[in-house]
Every structure is written in structure tokens, then in C-alpha cells.
């Protein structure tokens, strides 16, 4: 009989992360300081522990996962690879739809895959307290969990719109002992400045990042650092365990490489985590379509240029080479809070520039429709972020049917939506609508990076 779930023994868990920076046809361009010069590791030291900064700038292809990190990840990893046979039947598609089920982590998403190593490296470096931001709440939940398991303090600045929409999120962070406040808050200068200008702002990831960095670097004990849940190289690195496991599991399922790889993309980490080990194959000649899916309301890859821009609203981070809508852009308060970010991870951005990945954008209504189809076939409630991947999966499966091709589709089920039911409720009661960022608004915030240096749009043109 054909299994619908493919497991790995714990002993078969990947022991190393995969670093795409080693294989990108065009080397990554460095982050720049306010003076336009490349940022040195020492300049990042007030923000991150040095061991993570070393990972951030590493170009080693394989990086060992510490034993103690694996010991914690074993709580839920290896995560299952599953096949969506019920959705396949419903769509009457010849495509085979596989997904990595990252919803099985205690926090309900892929985020603990990096929260755990980040907390571990911080602890190794003697840090006692970690600050962070969270959008939908998934990352804050994950870091709370990791800090709790590691005996560290955790402070979370949660984007206000999500804080209000998802009250259970702060409760679960409370169970794991974290301190969670709505952002913008009055606890930081960045927060107070924004509140003075826009007292009713729904907040944004960019603002919350500014607050969390400020809270870390202004702590006089020197024992506080900041952790980011996406975007940075070391975060994407930690997530590659997803794709590395998926490769082994696809083999168990009797498949070679997938024809299509899909992940939703906010900052880029769940997408990269699944996709990068397959981008490696594509670089080495395999034929494959790889789709990061973003919301039409925050279309940085499909409409934003590849530029140098800040990662946060207040401009506290170095300039990163990435697709950006401008660091002052505040996305519409869609329910997929984890996709409300103005920029895209530099590694994903460069892969897009190279043509290794082809971004897609979907509207909120089509994504909820896909989520409902999923709930009524596969049975589970997906996160609003994940629904973006599912909407694209359904389109591709229908296309495979139209073409009569038995394609293998692999996507990342990045999280469950059990704490995001308010969005479903609003969708079902007709309170939601679509919003695509108009081209005129795409230009509007580009002034925020107009005076920064320009990265070279290097492209080898092979893909």
C-alpha cells in the first residue's frame, strides 16, 4: 500500500545545514554600513553574538549542526513528509502533491528550526536575554519556546495588528515565560517616535524590528542580544534542515527530484528552508520550477526592485542587497501577518535575480479559498501564510491536469492556523476583500532607499 506519510528515523536527521552562499553563481554582495562601506563583524557585535555573525558571513557549503541543538530538535524532527492524496483526488490531478509538515513543532510552524540554534549560540556566547519582533506571532512563539528550553529570558515586540487579532499568541508565549508587548510600544525611542506620528498604526515587522534591536543594543549589562526570525543568511541556513529532510523522504516515497517546489515567502525563511537544497540541484543542472509566493498586498519580489535597503523601518540595520518596497512601507493588515514585510532575504533575492526562483503573487481571497479547499479535503487548518503556498499548489496541480502531466509538486506546509481562526471567521462571514498594491504605491516608498548605493544586478543568465 502507498503510504501518505514518510518518516525518517532520528538517526537519519541531517547533521549539517546547507549554505546556498557557497553555490550561488554570483557571490553575495555585502551588507553596507551608513557610510556605504561593507559592514564588519565587529559592527554587528552589539546586535548578535559573534558565533552567529560568523555563520552569517560564512561561505562554507556545509555547516555542522551542534549535537545539543539536534537533541532539542528531536522533539519534533525529522518532520513528516506527507502526500496530499485527498486534495489530489478532489482536483482530479495526475500531479503528486507532497508537503513537509512543519506544523508539527510545539510552536506550530517552521520557526523553531532557527529559534533553537539561535538561542543555543547566544547561550554559548554567554548571553542571558534575547529580544525579538514577531508578525503573525509564529516567530515570537518559537523564540519563547527555544529560550524556555534553554533557560534564557525572552522579550517579544509583536506587530500591533496581530497582537490584537491573535490574543492566544501572547498567552502561549506566556506559558513559555516570555514577555510580549504590542509594537509600536512606548518602551523604545523607535516605538515612541512612530506612535507620535501615527498613533493608530497597525504596526509592521519593520517597526517591531527597530524596537527589538534598540532594546538589545541599549541594554547596559551587555548580556542582551537580538534575534531575527527570517531574512538573514544564518536564519535561512538553519531552515535548510527542512529541504534536506525532504530530499531523503522523497527518495523513501520513490521519487527523484520534484518538478515544482513551492513555499510562501514573507522574509523568505520557510521558502528558503525547503527550496535551497533543491536550488543546489538546479544550479547543478536539474530541471525544476521553484516558486516563492508572496501576497499581492506586499509584492516585493514581483514588483519591488533589487536594491540596498534597511531591514527595519527606523533604519537601525545595515543596508542589505534585496528586493524591497522601501523600508518605510507599511503593508496592509492582511491576516497573513508573517508575510507583511517590506523586503526579501538577500539570498532569496539573489536567487530571484539569477532566475533560479520565479516569484508569484496571490491575493488574500484566493488564498483563503485555497485554505478552505485544503480544510475540506486534507482536513487540517493551515496558517494564512501557508495558504499562499497552497493557492499556488492548486494552480500548478490544475495546470498539470490540463497538460496531462504527472508532475511531482513539493511544498512547505509552514504552519497550522489553529491560532489564526479569526481570519477564517472573517472570510466566512464576508468581511474580507482583496487588495493588490497599485503600481503607483509601489513607487511611493522608493524614496526611502533612493539615496543608498545600488547593488550590481548580477545575473549569469543560465536559468
Q: Among 29, 61, 168, 281, indicate the residue that binds its own copies (CB under 8 A).
A: 168
Choose one: 217-225, 236-244, 415-423, 444-452; the region binding its own copies (CB under 8 A).
415-423
**C-alpha–C-alpha distance, residues 52 and 19, integer Å:** 14
CA atoms within 13 A on the CB side of 94: 10
Minimum Å gap between C-beta 11 and its own copies is 4
Choose one: 24-32, 237-245, 267-275, 368-376; the region binding its own copies (CB under 8 A).
368-376
Q: Is 181 left (phi over 0), alpha (psi -120 to 50) or beta?
A: beta
Q: Tell me the β-bridge partners of 321.
A: 308
Site string for its own copies, 6-45 (x = CB under 8 A): -x-xxx----------------------------------
Nearer to its own copies, 158 or 352 (CB): 158
Q: Which of residues 129-158 bind its own copies (CB under 8 A)?
A: 145, 148-149
Choose one: 192-200, 204-212, 320-328, 379-387; the region binding its own copies (CB under 8 A).
379-387
172: contact with its own copies by CB under 8 A:
yes
174: contact with its own copies by CB under 8 A:
yes
Nearer to its own copies, 388 or 416 (CB): 416
Cell numbers linked to 38:
561593507
428: contact with its own copies by CB under 8 A:
yes
Cell numbers linked to 142:
518559537
Torsion, CA 388, CA 390, CA 396, CA 399, rounded to 10 = -110
Segments of 265-374 assigned E as strands: 289-295, 306-310, 319-323, 360-362
Q: Is 447 helix (H, G, I), strand (E, B) or coil?
A: helix
Strand arrangement, sheet containing 96-101: 5-6, 81-83, 96-101, 408-413, 260-264, 289-295, 360-362
Q: Is 64 helix (H, G, I), strand (E, B) or coil?
A: strand
418: contact with its own copies by CB under 8 A:
yes
217: contact with its own copies by CB under 8 A:
no
Choose one: 2-10, 210-218, 272-280, 441-449; the region binding its own copies (CB under 8 A).
2-10
Nearer to its own copies, 9 or 200 (CB): 9
Per residue in 367-385, is it b (16+ CB within 10 Å) or e — as a string?
Answer: bbbbbbbbeebbebbbbbb
Q: Among 45, 252, 421, 457, indicate the residue that binds its own copies (CB under 8 A).
A: 421
462: contact with its own copies by CB under 8 A:
no
Using the structure block, give the residue that is written with the C-alpha cell 534597511.
310
The binding site for its own copies (CB under 8 A) comprises 1-5, 7, 9-11, 74-76, 86, 104, 106, 108, 145, 148-149, 168, 171-172, 174-177, 372, 375-376, 378-381, 418-419, 421-422, 424-425, 428
Amino acid at each position: 500500500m502507498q503510504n501518505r506519510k514518510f518518516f525518517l528515523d532520528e538517526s537519519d536527521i541531517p547533521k549539517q545545514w546547507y549554505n546556498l552562499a557557497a553555490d550561488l553563481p554570483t557571490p553575495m554582495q555585502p551588507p553596507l554600513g551608513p557610510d556605504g562601506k561593507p559592514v564588519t563583524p565587529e559592527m554587528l557585535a552589539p546586535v548578535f553574538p559573534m558565533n552567529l555573525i560568523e555563520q552569517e558571513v560564512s561561505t562554507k557549503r556545509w555547516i555542522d549542526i551542534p549535537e545539543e541543538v539536534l537533541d532539542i530538535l528531536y522533539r519534533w524532527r525529522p518532520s513528516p513528509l506527507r502526500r496530499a492524496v485527498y486534495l489530489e483526488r478532489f482536483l482530479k490531478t495526475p500531479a503528486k502533491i507532497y508537503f513537509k509538515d512543519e506544523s508539527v513543532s510545539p510552536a506550530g510552524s517552521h520557526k523553531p528550526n532557527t529559534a533553537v540554534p539561535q538561542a543555543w549560540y547566544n547561550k554559548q556566547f554567554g548571553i542571558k536575554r534575547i529580544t525579538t519582533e514577531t508578525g503573525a506571532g509564529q516567530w515570537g512563539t518559537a523564540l519563547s519556546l527555544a529560550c524556555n528550553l534553554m533557560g534564557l529570558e525572552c522579550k517579544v515586540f509583536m506587530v500591533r495588528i496581530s497582537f490584537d487579532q491573535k490574543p492566544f499568541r501572547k498567552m502561549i508565549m506566556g506559558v513559555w515565560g516570555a514577555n510580549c508587548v504590542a509594537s509600536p510600544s512606548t518602551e523604545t525611542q523607535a516605538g515612541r517616535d512612530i506612535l507620535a506620528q501615527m498613533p493608530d498604526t497597525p504596526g509592521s515587522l519593520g517597526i517591531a524590528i527597530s524596537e527589538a534591536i534598540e532594546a538589545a543594543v541599549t541594554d547596559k549589562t551587555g548580556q542582551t542580544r537580538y534575534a531575527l526570525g527570517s531574512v538573514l543568511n544564518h536564519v535561512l541556513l538553519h531552515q535548510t534542515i527542512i529541504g534536506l529532510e525532504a530530499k531523503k523522504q522523497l527518495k523513501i516515497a520513490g521519487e527523484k527530484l520534484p518538478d515544482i517546489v513551492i513555499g510562501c515567502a514573507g522574509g523568505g525563511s520557510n521558502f528558503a528552508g525547503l527550496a535551497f537544497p533543491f536550488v543546489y540541484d538546479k544550479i547543478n543542472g536539474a530541471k525544476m520550477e521553484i516558486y516563492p509566493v508572496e501576497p499581492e498586498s506586499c509584492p516585493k519580489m514581483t514588483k519591488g526592485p533589487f536594491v540596498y535597503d534597511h531591514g527595519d523601518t527606523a533604519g537601525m540595520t545595515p543596508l542589505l542587497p534585496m528586493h524591497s518596497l522601501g523600508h518605510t512601507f507599511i503593508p496592509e493588515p492582511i491576516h497573513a501577518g508573517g508575510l507583511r514585510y517590506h523586503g526579501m532575504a538577500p539570498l532569496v533575492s539573489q536567487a530571484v535575480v539569477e532566475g533560479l526562483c520565479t516569484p508569484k503573487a496571490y491575493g488574500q481571497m484566493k488564498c483563503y479559498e485555497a485554505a478552505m479547499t485544503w480544510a475540506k479535503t486534507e482536513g487540517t487548518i493551515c496558517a494564512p501564510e501557508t495558504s499562499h503556498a497552497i493557492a499556488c499548489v492548486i494552480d500548478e496541480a490544475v495546470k498539470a491536469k490540463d497538460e496531462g502531466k504527472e508532475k511531482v509538486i513539493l511544498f512547505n506546509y509552514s504552519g497550522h492556523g489553529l491560532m489564526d481562526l479569526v481570519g477564517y471567521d472573517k472570510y466566512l462571514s464576508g468581511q474580507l476583500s482583496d487588495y493588490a498594491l497599485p503600481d503607483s504605491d509601489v513607487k511611493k516608498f522608493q524614496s526611502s532607499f533612493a539615496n543608498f548605493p545600488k547593488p550590481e544586478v548580477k545575473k549569469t543568465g543560465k536559468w
